[in-house]
Amino acid sequence: MTLATDLDGVYSVNSVTDYDGPLQKKSDGQTEIIDGKTHRVDAAGCVWNSTFEWIDDEKTQVKMTSVADPSNADADFLLTRPDGTPTSEAVTYETTLNVKRKGDKVQMTGSINYGGNTVLLTMRKG
């Protein structure tokens, strides 16, 4: 399908996880989608590059592919690989987000499952 360029705008990013380990997550914040893509640096200094691609003709679901690169992040910051082990290398996360609209407001929600953990992700615009 095509990149979800019609979702362009500034979004708040919020996550809730069942992860209960020693690695502090600092990925929440704000991001801007431009031409169906984002580039942002989170509070830990981890770089996130994401793409959003429509997966249905009704435009109710997008595939989000995020590459997180912690190479310039805080010294004590690590990501979690899909097998659950910590890493300071880039990790790619993929998920399907449900898209709901009301006027200019957009909300995308979904979950990312990896390493035995689940992250519930919400992105809101407007």
pLDDT in tens, 41-50: 998 999 999 9
In angstroms, the CA 52 to CA 33 distance is 9
Q: Greater confidence, 69 or 78?
A: 69
Three-class secondary structure of residue 6 per DSSP: helix
Using one digit for the tens of pLDDT, what is the confidence trace for 73-105? 998 888 888 888 888 999 999 999 999 999 999
Instruction: Identify the CATH class of 5-125.
Output: mainly beta
Q: What is the pLDDT of residue 110?
A: 97
Report the first-to-last Cα separation within the chain, whole angstroms: 25
CB 15 within 8 A of CB 9: no
Name the residue ranges covered by the structural domains of the chain: 5-125
Please list, in sequence order, all residues whose beta carbon lies within 8 angstroms of the beta carbon of residue 110, skipping any fewer than 6 positions away: 64, 95, 96, 97, 98, 120, 121
